[in-house]
Structure 1
Amino acid sequence: MKRIIVLCMFFTFLVGCENKAEKTKNSDNSISEVTPEELPITTQIANANGIEKFKELEEVYFMFNVKVNDTLRSKRAWKWFPKSKKIELTEKGETISYIQGDSLSEKALAADQKFINDSYWLLFPYQLMWSDFEATYNEKGIAPLSNEEMKMLTVSYKGKGGYSPGDSYHIFFGDDNMIMEWTYVSSTGRELTTTWEDYETFKGIPIAKMHKTADSSFQLYFTNIKLK
């Protein structure tokens, strides 16, 4: 089984347009083309999920919902302005807005922790380009829910930064580089395995609107998605 250990920080210079060959400069200053298949697997996944289209967006709206045993546990409405890094959360009748990167109040910090969680579920493939992590890629793995053979990428956050250092994700995806299942493993060993399903494309960006466990007792899903 082919295993490749990679560091995210080395990937960012390789991002490019989907379905186009890229060019890179060799040590002798000659130019050679890099095909999409030769890019790091993290870049391939981000590209397949429309990261170049995301760069064109001004506004992102979505509703994050969690249902456990048919009881709605969480419902949060988000307005996200990626270019200005402004975030607005409406939850339980209260709205709070803040700018990422600013010195945050206690309420804004709590909101940002929720935003990081919710946006990871919404657009995790982009985190493969945006965040620092260690990753192990296997060309063949067995998906835990479907028991089907898929490609597998394990992403581990080993550093001390961020809101949840020590967390990791086992990602299972097909030849089209679209995530089909994943297992989240917390720093304490707690696990959650869900599907990535009910994909819909918004402004050229495919989003999995439903994530659920094998028995559907846990359902995390998105509604009111609007991209501008």
Structure 2
Amino acid sequence: MKKFTLLCLVVLCAARPGFLAAAEEAAPLAEAVWKASGGENWPNVKTIDFTFAVEKGGQTLVSAEHHWDVVAQTDRVKWKGKDVTVNLADPATDEDGKAAYARWVNDSYWLLAPLKFKDRGIQFKAEGRKTIDGAECEVLLLSFDQVGLTPNDQYRLYIDPATKLLASWDYISEPGKSKHGTWENYQKSGGLTLATEHKMDEVEIKILNLKVTSSQ
């Protein structure tokens, strides 16, 4: 999952004319998804509170509470008996500091991925339309230009043509290896529109106790 630098511009790869054309075609759709998720309201966001939970077979495998002070660039994370506040601009290098930062990177991506479409080093490629989970979706392939903790990850994004919200994605950790996950149960808070449930095989990821405060 990737570090959040929302004000940076999308970087498009110019390796091949065909890729460049697909990237140029993808840009308006990526912008539409960002806007539908509340991207234009992000500058007003002050804090985000949420609990990231992973459940399987009725059992909770992971539970991490976050108090993210967006203005101060800190995140207080409580998980596995730990209570760590991480400086997101300059993460600590001790074991707990690195673990808390990794939790923020992962958990915030499941919460805010569409709002990170303007991060530095994000690349998009348009892939037309495809029927997935019984519905026709617009498709974008998202990749990274050597940024973040896992720069080789890719995501195939399936977008609702009517709402421009992310409906699901394929997480591609390496060529030929992917996991399909849904984006559903969208909630509005503090000017943002965020998915709070994701289903991947037998695992369910939930965003609980969501509260976004903003200046508006």
TM-score tier by shorter-chain length is 0.7 to 0.9
1:103 CA drift (Å): 5.0
Letter of the 2:193 partner, please give it.
P
Note the alpha carbon deviations across 1:163-206, whole angstroms, 9 max, x for none. Answer: 11200101101122101111111137542211111111112211
Q: For residue 107 of structure 2, what is the aligned residue in structure 1?
A: 118
Match of 1:80 in 2: 68
TM-score if structure 2 supplies the norm length? Answer: 0.81
CA–CA distance in structure 2, aligned partners of residues 222 and 149 of structure 1: 26
| Separation in structure 1 between the aligned mates of residue 67 and residue 155 of structure 2, nearest angstrom | 26
Choose the corresponding residue for 2:197, options 191, 196, 210. Answer: 210
Query: How many matched pairs?
Result: 190
Gaps of 5+ in 2: 1-8, 13-25
TM-score by length of 1: 0.77
**Aligned mate of 2:43, from 55, 66, 73:** 55
Larger radius of gyration: 1
**Aligned-pair Cα RMSD in Å:** 2.0
Structure 1 portions without partners, runs of 5+: 1-6, 11-37
What CA deviation, in whole Å up to 9, does each residue of 1:43-88 have, x standing for no partner? 1111111012221111110000001222211000001111221111
Amino acid of the structure 2 residue aligned with 1:9: V
Cα distance in structure 2, aligned partners of 1:103 and 1:212:
30
Q: In 2, Cα distance between the equivalents of 1:189 and 1:82?
A: 37
Q: Which residue in 2 is equivalent to 1:164?
A: 150
| Mapping 1:20-169, distance limit 5 Å | 40-106=28-94, 107-143=96-132, 146-159=133-146, 161-169=147-155
SS at match of 1:9: coil
